[in-house]
């Protein structure tokens, strides 16, 4: 029989735009995490959910293909436990049963559709667990395809206030930024919607201006970081815990919103993200303008890592 001090976990984060897998050996006693597999597939599960209220057949087909690939990977790693977490797109869809059945048949686990509050807590835990020498309070910003979470905490893994907002890169693009590139009127309308959502945060105890450190996580932020670093391919080691001035982010956001999808891809923004990165960057930009931090700290550890630790 295999003996192991650590717990080998498999975590799946199923979002509006991507589905991600992490297989890791986690030792809760030592507080260590050894990543064995970290995979991402852009499946655009949230395609037209905002308009139709259901998961599109072609989007489910893309997801199920990715889940089958992940099932094969998990089967080779002898994991102790597996958790599959679904977020915004699935929360908003009327045909969840079809999604649930398809995942269960392929992966052998019941997918969990978590609330916005639990999504926020998992994101904060994943993004802050490995932080060192940063001033608190910390705000973690998790920009997804369908929703955005802003989470304040006064210590690692300790949330003081959080809120999930129904603004995300896919949702905002489909609803308000259909042109390529977006028109000035479209950008102005999207900015008003983002600002309106952010205006509600204080009523939930989330005061972005209190944050001394702003940690950005998930695909929009890591893609912005990769572009600012001038990377022609994604390099997690360089992106993780990279830091940028707010001026750098503001300038790049303006460039991305003015660029066509093809021009964004010349900056090495990958297909499947290139059409929605302008909307995601806009959300990032508007949060930075309200934050008390003068820099953006990037974390490539995110809700996926939070899910892994929730298992262990």
Sign of CA dihedral 41, 45, 47, 50: negative
On the question of a common fold for 7-113 and 127-304, the answer reads: yes
At the top level of CATH, which class does the domain 127-304 belong to? alpha beta
E strand or H helix at 21:
strand 18-27
Please tell me the class of the 7-113 domain: alpha beta
| pLDDT tens figures, 23-46 | 999 998 888 999 999 999 999 998
Burial category of 279 from C-beta neighbours within 10 Å (exposed 0-12, middle 13-18, buried 19 and up): buried
pLDDT at 303 over 60: yes
pLDDT in tens, 197-221: 999 999 999 998 988 899 999 889 9
Boundaries of every domain in the chain: 7-113, 127-304
Instruction: Collect all residues with Cβ–Cβ distance below 8 Å to 216 and sequence separation of at least 6.
Output: 140, 141, 143, 224, 284, 296, 297, 298, 299
Residue located via tokens 């929009």: 220
Residue 138: phi, psi to the nearest 5? -110, 135
Q: Enter the pTM of the model.
A: 0.86
Residue from 181, 182, 149, 155 nearest 167 by CA: 149
Q: Do residues 264 and 277 touch, judged by C-beta distance below 8 A?
A: yes
Q: Give the list of residues 6+ apart from residue 3 with CB closer than 8 angstroms, or none.
A: none
């Amino acid at each position: 029989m295999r003996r192991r001090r650590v717990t080998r976990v498999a975590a799946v984060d199923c979002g509006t735009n991507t589905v991600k897998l992490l297989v890791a050996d986690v030792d809760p006693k030592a507080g260590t995490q050894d990543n064995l597999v970290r995979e991402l597939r852009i499946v655009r599960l949230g395609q037209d959910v905002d308009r139709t209220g259901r998961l599109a057949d072609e989007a489910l087909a893309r997801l199920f293909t990715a889940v089958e690939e992940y099932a094969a990977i998990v089967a080779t790693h002898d994991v102790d436990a597996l958790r599959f977490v679904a977020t915004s797109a699935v929360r908003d869809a009327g045909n969840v049963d079809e999604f649930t059945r398809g995942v269960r048949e392929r992966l052998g686990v019941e997918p969990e559709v978590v609330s916005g509050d639990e999504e926020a807590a998992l994101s904060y835990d994943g993004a802050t667990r490995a932080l060192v020498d940063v001033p608190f309070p910390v705000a973690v910003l998790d920009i997804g395809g369908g929703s955005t979470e802003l989470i304040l905490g006064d210590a690692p893994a300790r949330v003081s206030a959080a809120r999930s907002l129904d603004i995300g890169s896919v949702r905002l693009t489909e609803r308000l930024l259909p042109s390529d590139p977006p028109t000035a009127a479209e950008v102005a309308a999207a900015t008003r919607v983002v600002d309106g959502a952010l205006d509600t945060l204080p009523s939930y105890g989330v005061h972005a201006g209190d944050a001394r450190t702003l940690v950005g996580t998930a695909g929009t932020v890591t893609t912005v970081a990769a572009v600012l670093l001038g990377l022609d391919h994604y390099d997690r080691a360089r992106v993780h815990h990279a830091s940028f001035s707010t001026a750098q982010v503001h300038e790049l956001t303006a460039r991305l919103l003015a660029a066509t999808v093809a021009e964004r891809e010349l900056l090495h923004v990958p297909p499947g993200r290139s059409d929605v990165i302008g909307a995601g960057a806009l959300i990032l930009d508007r949060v930075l303008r309200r934050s008390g931090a003068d820099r953006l700290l990037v974390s490539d550890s995110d809700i996926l890592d939070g899910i892994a630790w929730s298992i262990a």
